[in-house]
């Protein structure tokens, strides 16, 4: 059986599993709930508070997604490999003409699409609803920027979740490690960076390098540079970023670094999966 055929077979089985577990419906409901909250509350009150409605709503929603998307990706992939080992489905498929590479590719593609498609549908739908219901002008440039950055972040954490699931055999330990990775990405690294800045007077270049190591922070800078190119809220660091790196540089960093990190994690997890025992 060719690799393409193997991937198609595994993808059909994994799609059936995703539909059975209602994971796709859950992702759609989460995005719809967030979008509805920001549209109905943010746009309705925009005229009272005095900010530009659709642009502010999209920016707020994008930043909320930076905290949510890594958790969704890690939840969807952090136990997929070790769960298949424990329930025997991986061993059963391996007894048929399905190779390890074909199985891993099929699962990776399905999990990535299941997580990315609801996002890519919800963000334009939110913008169109805001236009039709409230007459708001859609900042299409920022919308496309947010979709690209969010997709790169999702793919990065899908690969990290697969790496966790491949290298950690115990499901409970894999779940705890996934939660720790999420916490480090969205919360703990902020406190650590602030502590380092308070302890030592670092130059702006060093602060940016430390922040950009974290893919969540890198994506956050890419989004902020699209809404506020001068980055005045960051003080000297923002002045350095705005003048030395620029909005375009931050955008490509916010896409390129998460994708590179995700690709590295995915190749590592594939190599580990091919070397380890199936049971």
Q: How many domains does the chain have?
A: 1
pLDDT at 47 > cutoff 60: no
DSSP 204-240: HHHHHHHHHHSHHHHHHHHHHHHH-TT-GGGTHHHHH
Tell me which H or E stretch contains 44: none
pLDDT at 48 > cutoff 50: no
pLDDT at 204: 61
Percent of the chain, pLDDT > 70? Answer: 76
> What average pLDDT does range 225-239 have in this prediction?
62
Q: In this predicted structure, which of 26-40, 237-251, 265-279 has the lowest mean pLDDT?
A: 237-251
CA distance 243 to 229: 10
pLDDT at 88: 76
180 CB contacts (<8 Å, ≥6 apart)? none
Residue pLDDT, tens place only, 54-85: 667 777 777 788 888 998 899 889 888 888 88
Q: Is the C-alpha dihedral spanning 146, 148, 151, 156 positive or negative?
A: negative
| Dihedral of the alpha carbons of 27, 33, 35, 39, in degrees to the nearest 10 | 170
> Which residues constitute the domain of residue 36?
3-275
pLDDT at 151: 93
**In contact, 125 and 33? CB cutoff 8 Å:** no
pLDDT-derived band at 53 (thresholds 50, 70, 90) equals low
Judged on CB neighbours under 10 Å (0-12, 13-18, 19+), 277 is exposed
Mean pLDDT over all residues of the chain? Answer: 79
CA distance 29 to 9: 28
Counts of helices then strands in the chain (DSSP H, E): 14, 0
**How far apart, in Å, do the first and last CA atoms of the chain sit?**
23
pLDDT-derived band at 201 (thresholds 50, 70, 90) equals low
103 CB contacts (<8 Å, ≥6 apart)? 6, 10, 90, 93, 94
């Amino acid at each position: 059986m060719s690799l393409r055929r193997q991937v198609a077979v595994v993808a059909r089985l994994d799609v059936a599993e995703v539909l059975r577990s209602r994971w796709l419906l859950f992702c759609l409901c989460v995005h719809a709930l967030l979008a509805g909250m920001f549209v109905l509350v943010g746009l309705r009150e925009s005229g009272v508070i005095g900010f530009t409605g659709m642009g502010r709503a999209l920016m707020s929603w994008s930043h909320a997604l930076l905290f949510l998307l890594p958790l969704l990706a890690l939840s969807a992939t952090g136990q997929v490999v070790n769960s298949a080992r424990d329930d025997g489905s991986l061993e059963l498929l391996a007894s048929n003409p399905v190779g390890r590479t074909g199985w891993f590719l099929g699962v990776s593609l399905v999990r990535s699409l299941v997580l990315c498609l609801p996002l890519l549908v919800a963000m334009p739908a939110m913008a169109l609803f805001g236009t039709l219901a409230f007459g708001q002008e859609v900042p299409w440039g920022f919308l496309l920027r947010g979709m690209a950055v969010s997709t790169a972040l999702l793919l990065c954490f899908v690969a990290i979740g697969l790496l966790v699931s491949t290298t950690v055999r115990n499901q409970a330990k894999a779940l705890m490690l996934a939660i720790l990775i999420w916490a480090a990405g969205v919360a703990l690294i902020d406190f650590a960076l602030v502590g380092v800045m308070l302890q030592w007077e670092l130059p702006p270049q060093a602060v940016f390098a430390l922040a950009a190591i974290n893919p969540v922070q890198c994506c956050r800078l890419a989004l902020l540079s699209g809404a506020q190119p001068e980055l005045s809220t960051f003080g000297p660091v923002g002045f350095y970023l705005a003048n030395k790196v620029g909005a375009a540089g931050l955008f490509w960093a916010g896409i390129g670094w998460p994708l590179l990190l995700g690709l590295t994690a995915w190749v590592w997890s594939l190599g580990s999966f091919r070397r380890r025992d199936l049971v």
